[in-house]
Amino acid sequence: MLAGIQELAPEIKARAAEIEAARRVPPDIVERLRSIGIFRMFVPRSHGGLELDFPAGMEVIKALARLDGSIGWITVVAGASSLFVAASRPEMYQRIYQDGPDTAICGSSQPGGTAERVTDGYRVKGRWPFASGCTHADWIGGFCIVTENGKPVTGAQGKPLVRVVALPARDWEIEDTWYAAGLKGTGSHHVTLRERLVPDADFFDLGTAPHQPGPLYQALPQWLPLVHGAFAVGVAEGCVDDLLALANTGKQQLYAALPMRESETFQYDLGRISANLAAAQAFQEVQAASHWRHAVSGTLNDEDLVTEGARSAVWLATTCVGIADACFALAGSSAVHDSSPLQRRLRDLHVGAQHAHAQQRLYVDVGKLALRRSAGDAG
């Protein structure tokens, strides 16, 4: 897969402006990515997928994010969506992958819909935001609050019961709403279902016992922050690549006494950036390897590991945004033009850091976990 990505790299870089202008990944590039295997990387081997070890999948995400943030993001969606639908019942899973393991799936985890219980299933309606990749998806899913007689049904811990509806993409309406500061090429539009009757067979529940064997599929929330961390590191690597390429052209900024590469001021800042990037790379790899060890040993389904993953995702997002900001500043006025990949990567990282899995407020849970573990050690 990594070799295929490198073969595709020159075309992805050359068509970055086209991807942004179209606000989606062009269909021919989607097909190239499909042939490389991004939609099958976390599909079980029993269904023709690659069933990659999780750390190996993170290397794929980083490699594509390093080339282009939007393509890296839809690769995150491709991997995470495969893990989501692994929670579905065997009959639904078979329908989703009946045409093979390269099925493109996307969805929205915001509970933007309602599913009213009726005799023959559910009456579903809703409007879901941020459905990244919906323009090339084969299947789309959306989280629904289950209602009965117009009132939410109570689920675990007294919270509203939420179920996931999954239907072929042709059954959804895509609203052209994705006009954003970054990740412009992800096609993260709103998707809508007008009121329609949906049988129970088209729903599945998260948090139930795994329906697929193997370490990848025993838990879902633990993996999700980690894919965002891999994305952030990949884009940050691309920022440093761009800065080094600019310096190696012999660029000398206006009023500067020396070319960038010969300036000790530039060298100092580059050294600091390189250290931050190396720390981010190491943290991401260690966290992915740690979670994978838990998965292999059957201990992944632990709420504390969700918090550990959140800790890495938030820190990586913050650190990588800092790397992008520093690279942009060092590049000077050459980075302000639309033709500069640095300004695009900066925007992509800032928008990616707005995701719920990368929000600073998650540090509260990280602090609580540290206190709880400290109290346990003291006892």
Q: What is the pLDDT of residues 299-337, one digit of tens each?
A: 999 999 999 999 999 999 999 999 999 999 999 999 999
Per-residue pLDDT for 174 more than 90? Answer: yes
Please state, in angstroms and rounded to a whole number, the distance separating the CA atoms of residues 175 and 359: 27
Average pLDDT score over residue span 103-114? 96
Q: Could you tell me which residue, 378 or 335, shows the higher pLDDT?
A: 335
Q: Report percent pLDDT > 90 for the chain.
A: 93
Average pLDDT score over residue span 253-258? 81
Average pLDDT score over residue span 253-270? 90
- pTM of the full predicted structure? 0.95
Per-residue pLDDT for 73 more than 70? Answer: yes
Please state, in angstroms and rounded to a whole number, the distance separating the CA atoms of residues 161 and 167: 20
Q: Average per-residue pLDDT in the chain?
A: 95
Please state, in angstroms and rounded to a whole number, the distance separating the CA atoms of residues 251 and 231: 29
Q: Could you tell me which residue, 129 or 155, shows the higher pLDDT?
A: 129
- Report which of 129, 20, 44 is spatially closest to residue 93, judged by C-alpha positions: 44
Please state, in angstroms and rounded to a whole number, the distance separating the CA atoms of residues 353 and 377: 33
Please state, in angstroms and rounded to a whole number, the distance separating the CA atoms of residues 53 and 192: 34
Please state, in angstroms and rounded to a whole number, the distance separating the CA atoms of residues 22 and 270: 34
Using CB atoms within 10 Å of the CB of residue 22, give its burial: 0 to 12 exposed, 13 to 18 middle, 19+ buried.
middle
Torsion of CA 342, 346, 348, 353, to 10 degrees: 160
The two three-digit tokens of residue 73, written as one number: 């993001």
State the Cα angle at 34 between 15 and 190, rounded to 5°: 75
